[in-house]
Amino acid sequence: MRQSSVDLKSSGRSIGFVPTMGALHGGHVSLINEAKKCNDAAVLSIFVNPTQFAPGEDYNSYPRDIERDKITASDTGVDILFLPSADEMYPEGFKTFVNVEGITESLCGRFRPRHFKGVATVVLKLFNIVMPDRAYFGEKDYQQLLVVKKMVKDLNLDIEIKGMPTIREWDGLAMSSRNGYLNRKERISAVSLSTALKTSQEMVKNDERRAEKIIGEMEKVINNEDAAKIDYISICDPDTLKDIEIIDNRALAALAVRIGKTRLIDNCILEVK
Ligand code: PAF
């Protein structure tokens, strides 16, 4: 992989990079399309990263369908598909981790305390191997996007990080590799995440500024679903992820909800016009 990147760069070609854990869906395809549009070569990595899963989470059951992913990669015109193994990425004796402080402590960080350390570490490793000019991440994983941006800034990496809009199913459910875990009933309940977000946007449009009030209504939408259990609903500053009480400009509404055994996340920006 490194040699291919060196060859591309020495011939003056730019590299757009899309890191993924596979089970590719429309969200990934939109990242690949953007990487292709804005760079000379598009690199896609597929690696289910063990260090971002805690014991008891879904590392072993995480959807893996490499043959289908290879077809998607070729259909979307990916130039290089990078498929490292866990042994290559984390050989025996691996001891170095990247820890982005502050923004990793709220939202998902409260429920998955080591998750972002694993994400930042693997993303930095992938960046060092692929040497991209630009890298593409979905805004569905808003906190992850912020963590990667902060790491790139703090560690002086010469890589442009591009956040791309969440791609949704016809009924509003944010596309995610984990949607495949949902049975038919759960799939219907899962729409409540985007419905709750729409409720928050409507309330702000109707001049409600109090976060507590908005969160209360969002909770009602989610709690209407028997299969749903809220991990968190937060209205926070979109840069620091600190909770806010009154929305006076822009805020992030973010939530994580368990639908049966499947943990889903989603978010939207609330803007006061
Ligand atoms: O968003 C993902 O798929 C993963 O967290 C990432 C960025 C590929 C790191 O493993």
pLDDT tens for each residue of 232-262 = 999 999 999 999 999 999 999 999 999 999 9
Q: Please give the Cα distance from 230 to 220 (Å, whole number).
A: 11
Q: Which of 164, 194, 222 is the last residue of a domain?
A: 164
pLDDT-derived band at 273, boundaries 50, 70, 90: confident
Which residue's alpha carbon is at the smallest distance from atom 5 of ligand 1?
A: 119
pLDDT tens for each residue of 160-186 = 999 999 999 999 999 999 999 999 999
Q: How far is the CA of 80 from the centre of ligand 1 (A)?
A: 18
How many domains would you assign to the chain?
A: 2
Q: Please give the Cα distance from 137 to 167 (Å, whole number).
A: 12
Which residue's alpha carbon is at the smallest distance from atom 1 of ligand 1?
A: 20
Tell me what percent of the residues of the chain surpass a pLDDT of 90. 100
Give the dihedral of Cα atoms 5, 9, 10, 11; nearest 10 deg.
110
Residues 134 and 8 in one domain: yes
In 33-104, where do the E strands start and end? 41-46, 80-82
Q: Is 25 a catalytic residue?
A: no
Q: Does 93 reside within a domain?
A: yes
Q: Which atom of ligand 1 is nearest to the CA of 49?
A: 10
Domain that holds residue 256: 177-271
Query: For ligand 1, is residue 49 a contact (CB within 6 Å)?
Result: yes
Nearest residue to 213 (alpha-carbon basis) of 203, 222, 223: 203
Q: 27, 28, 52, 221: which one is catalytic? A: 28
Q: CATH number, domain at 235?
A: 3.30.1300.10
Residues 149 and 223 in one domain: no
Whether the pTM exceeds 0.75: the reply is yes
Q: Does the pLDDT at position 78 exceed 90?
A: yes
Name the residue of 119, 127, 148, 152 whose CB sits within 8 Å of the most ligand 1 atoms, as the mutation to test its pocket. Answer: 119
Determine the pLDDT at residue 46. 99
Residues 24 and 130 in one domain: yes
Q: CATH number, domain at 19?
A: 3.40.50.620
Find the largest Cα–Cα distance for the chain: 57
pLDDT tens for each residue of 109-161 = 999 999 999 999 999 999 999 999 999 999 999 999 999 999 999 999 999 99
Q: Helices 66-75 and 26-38, interaxial angle, to 10°?
A: 40
Residues 51 and 80 in one domain: yes
Please give the span between the terminal C-alpha atoms of the chain, in angstroms, as a whole number: 47
Q: Does 172 reside within a domain?
A: no
Query: For ligand 1, is residue 143 a contact (CB within 6 Å)?
Result: no
Q: Does 170 reside within a domain?
A: no
Chain centroid to Cα 177, Å, comes to 11
Q: Which atom of ligand 1 is nearest to the CA of 19?
A: 8
Residues 40 and 143 in one domain: yes
Residues 121 and 192 in one domain: no
